[in-house]
């Protein structure tokens, strides 16, 4: 069996942003967050660990993981492919310029395609950042609601906070496998309902 290529932490090229970029991402994040029914999250006190053994429950907040993680994974894959496409077109443009000079008619289409690819890369980079922020927010809900426990102040962070070439794709799949493979037998406990208005106010204050 062929050995899988190891994903290494590396410097990832990103588009240059203006001063208002972070504010726009935050505004988009908040707009989507208002549409989320927070009752999809698990109660920390009753669901984070096995009520008998104290063992961590890998399925804790799995709904948020799959729902928002699949978004972050998909936008990350699209971002990686579009970035690769941009540099491929950049190489083709430079090669054509070197071979035939600035008078080459092929440079018109190559240049237009390169500009479009860069714009798509720029857009996908913003969408992926928003997806990652949403994922991280949905995994900090327990802390914001004042739930206790050692892990309450250490929510799951997308890709463990690292920048990798795959934008967290491999990490997401590893967490999915961990959720699906392990079983935790815990007593059935009714999950307390979340007051959406109260939670949204706390999320806004934490931003």
Helix axes 62-100, 169-181, angle to 10 degrees: 160
Q: Parse the chain into domains and list their residue ranges.
A: 55-180
What pTM, to 2 d.p., does this model score?
0.73
Q: Is residue 131 scored above 90 in pLDDT? A: yes
Which of 27-41, 48-62, 67-81, 145-159 is predicted least confidently? 145-159
- Tell me what the mean pLDDT of segment 36-57 comes to: 76
- 62 touches 175 (CB < 8 A): no
For the chain, percent of residues with pLDDT exceeding 70: 70
């Amino acid at each position: 069996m062929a050995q899988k290529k190891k994903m290494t932490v590396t410097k990832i090229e990103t588009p240059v942003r203006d001063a208002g970029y972070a504010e726009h991402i935050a505004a988009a994040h908040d707009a989507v967050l208002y549409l989320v029914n927070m009752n999809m999250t698990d109660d920390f006190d009753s669901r984070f660990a096995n009520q008998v053994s104290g063992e961590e429950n890998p399925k804790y907040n799995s709904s948020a993981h799959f729902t928002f993680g699949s978004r972050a994974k998909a936008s990350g894959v699209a971002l990686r492919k579009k970035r690769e496409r941009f540099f491929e077109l950049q190489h083709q443009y430079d090669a054509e310029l070197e071979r035939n000079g600035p008078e080459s008619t092929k440079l018109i289409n190559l240049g237009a395609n390169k500009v479009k690819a860069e714009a798509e890369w720029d857009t996908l980079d913003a969408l992926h950042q928003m997806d990652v922020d949403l994922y991280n927010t949905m995994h900090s809900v327990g802390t914001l609601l004042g739930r206790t426990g050692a892990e309450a102040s250490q929510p799951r962070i997308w890709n463990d906070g690292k920048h990798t070439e795959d934008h967290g794709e491999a990490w997401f799949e590893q967490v999915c496998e961990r959720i699906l493979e392990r079983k935790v037998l815990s007593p059935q406990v009714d999950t307390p309902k979340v007051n959406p208005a109260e939670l949204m106010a706390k999320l806004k204050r934490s931003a």
